[in-house]
A and B are shown apart, each in its own frame.
Chain A
């Protein structure tokens, strides 16, 4: 997220500069028409950016998914139309469905853990003293500031087969003999490491956002509930949670999107050669595209993945529309 700041700033400044001509226009005739057009004028830069960087590539992706597009076609920049053959092939491929299930299960675990732990830490932040809060927040921001690839390499070192810090610590604590323990020999322990890595990286964003939202919950409501005899858990469930629902819906949807397309963590940790037991949808699409050079097939997998994510974010879109209605 942090690397996005400059782009976000650019969008904002474009929007600001667009405000000036809009306000000037009011002095001229057809004032009402100008007012009606203003929101669309303001939207134009964002729509243009999305069109160029999102819609056009998506169109190319969708087009390629209906083509035979291998290395031969890549060099000649020319695929040929084969209808839905790519889709038929992946839907009849047992491996594909394994990968889908694996990705869905992994996403469910990561998102649940991220949301529960992130919210728990946010609630904790409300209770602790100022210094502890500052220390915790600083720690969270630092975690957030670590680029993914750097983080993966640090974790790589933590769970290294021979020199892993985690292996050494677990052995010293007499939890078992973890010297030369290979976390990735078994996909269950391997995915446990990836879950920890991803949850660790995602918690700061969730915690800081939820904490900011919690600060907006009116005190008198909480106090009233407490006076009425509600226990803390009931206060949280009956008062806080409903108030923060829009935030939770959006955070959960965003987390689903991020975790469903996980790629770098697994790819880098496993030296760019993940064994097929570690394929998530993103890795599977990459494998079919770039390693097997079946770009059409890879595109079809990516399209299916986009559709899955769209379904997962319907709740998010609904929330977005409702948020708009209020204003």
Chain B
């Protein structure tokens, strides 16, 4: 029966499936090259700082090439794990400040000598704390970011908004005016707020006096179901549902919110300093908006105060698997030198040293972010915290609130029990 032959042929195909599941690994480079993993912001926001660092490093080590490999926030830790297991992690890696603790606790990074690095006496305290574990330094502060409201002056004016808001209530009222003026276009958002943008949502919680979790007697307890947190999340829901038409299941980076803003159908968004120039980028953004773009710190629900902003930022670390530790350290020194840090500050960030803070404050494009940075919040300082982020607990909570698939209270309760469990048990 020929059908049987066909069946046999399929069996052979199955064997081929089985045989093909193995895939090749990557080859490891040696002393003629160091591999550096940076996140995409360096490429889009401050390529000049990277160029300065590479130039200075090259002057010092003419025979060594620097291979900058841009990673994605979604996948870089997975790749780092694989690299640590296989012994081919990069020589230098950028980690978000909330990602450091887990890896420092597990012994993934080489210990560093603080005095060897530029400006080490004036490092931003918040960043330095994120790079220390049990009193030892495992990372070099790279940069910090504070978010502020980036908005369209022309649209505010056309909607009859006279001045930037002094309170959350005014901010929401202004948003309603914008929606009235422009909202007939169904893709317009007065405040572009995608459902997974938990940094912004949590700012409300901290503003209302709440927190994500507290530590008591060595045990963590999530506090998102407290009356203060619930009151804050109710305001989050108002902004999500009434002022934003961003995807309720999307995040702020897919698509890049500053590029959505550049398309013209967004009145304001909550962005980092570097997202302002990025919105005006000649290739990806819209340079014509240069005269109508501005920023102000997000106002608090208490009139006259600012809403705390997430103190985001990154550190640079050297994985234990590297064979080029001194070269890696030299590149980090070049990248955190005053010259490179000045470029990073110019791009709209808070440099890693307080020496450059005045630089930000004197620039009208950076001053709102520098002012916003004075009131900041940070994630619970637990080695297990990053597992909460990786389990998307807070994103899922905000998505549930945005889509109305759960009440604010139910969404908060569910996130709360997950966070308590993960912080205490790791999973």
Contact = CB atoms under 8 A, between A and B. Distances in A.
A161 interface: yes
B74 A273 contact: yes
B199 interface: no
Contacts of B8: 323
B4 A180 contact: no
B14 interface: yes
B97 interface: no
Nearest to A73: B106
Contacts of A276: 391-392, 396
Interface string A244-279: 101100110010000000000000000111111000
Contacts of A319: 7
A275 B22 contact: no
Nearest to A320: B11
A186 B403 contact: yes
B107 A72 contact: yes
B107 A180 contact: no
A220 interface: no
A77 interface: yes
Interface in B156-191: 186-187
A161 B427 CA distance: 32
B18 interface: yes
A294 B426 contact: yes
B6 A275 contact: no
B214 interface: no
Contacts of A293: 81, 102, 106, 387
Contacts of B254: 271
A74 B108 CA distance: 10
B395 A75 contact: no
Contacts of A71: 81, 84, 102-103, 106, 108
B215 interface: no
B380 to A, nearest CB: 16
A77 B85 CA distance: 7
Interface in B1-58: 1-4, 6-8, 10-22
Nearest to A89: B427
Contacts of B122: none
Interface in A201-246: 209, 212-213, 216, 243-244, 246
A251 B7 CA distance: 9
Q: Give the dominant DSSP class at A's interface.
A: helix
A254 B7 contact: no
Interface stretch (B219-227, B241-249, B281-289, B361-369): B241-249
Q: Give the dominant DSSP class at B's interface.
A: helix
A185 B11 contact: no
Please classify how large the interface on chain B is, using the bins under 10, 10 to 19, 20 to 34, 35 or more. Answer: 35 or more
Given A74-B84, A272-B75, A326-B4, A3 B20 contact: yes
Contacts of A327: 4
A209 B304 CA distance: 71
A251 B247 CA distance: 39
Interface in A1-60: 1, 3-5, 7-8, 11, 46, 49-50, 52-54
Contacts of A251: 10
A275 B85 CA distance: 27
Contacts of A292: 387, 390-391, 422, 426-427
B355 interface: no
A132 B289 CA distance: 53
Contacts, number: 159
A133 interface: no
A275 B7 contact: no
B320 A75 contact: yes
Given A7-B16, A292-B391, A323 B11 contact: yes
A250 B7 contact: yes
Contacts of A310: none
B3 A246 contact: yes
Interface in B232-248: 245, 247-248
B78 interface: yes
B96 interface: no
Contacts of B250: 161, 271
Given A213-B3, A247-B6, A162 B187 contact: yes
B395 A186 contact: no
Contacts of A186: 403, 405
A273 B247 contact: no
Contacts of B387: 291-293
A122 interface: no
Given A75-B84, A77-B85, A243-B3, A275 B21 contact: no
A216 B105 CA distance: 64
Contacts of B103: 71
Nearest to A251: B10
A291 B78 contact: yes
B347 interface: no
A63 interface: no
A5 B18 CA distance: 12
B301 interface: no
Interface in A129-172: 161-162
A296 to B, nearest CB: 10
Contacts of B10: 209, 247, 250-251, 254
Interface of B: 1-4, 6-8, 10-22, 72, 74-75, 77-78, 81, 84-85, 102-103, 105-108, 186-187, 196, 245, 247-251, 254, 320, 387, 390-392, 395-396, 399, 403, 405, 422, 426-427
23 contacts: A7-B20, A8-B13, A8-B15, A8-B19, A11-B16, A53-B21, A53-B22, A71-B81, A74-B84, A161-B249, A162-B247, A185-B248, A216-B3, A216-B6, A246-B3, A247-B3, A272-B74, A273-B395, A275-B392, A276-B396, A290-B77, A290-B78, A320-B11
Given A186-B405, A273-B395, A292-B391, 11 more contacts: A7-B20, A46-B19, A75-B85, A180-B186, A244-B3, A246-B7, A273-B392, A287-B390, A291-B78, A293-B102, A294-B427
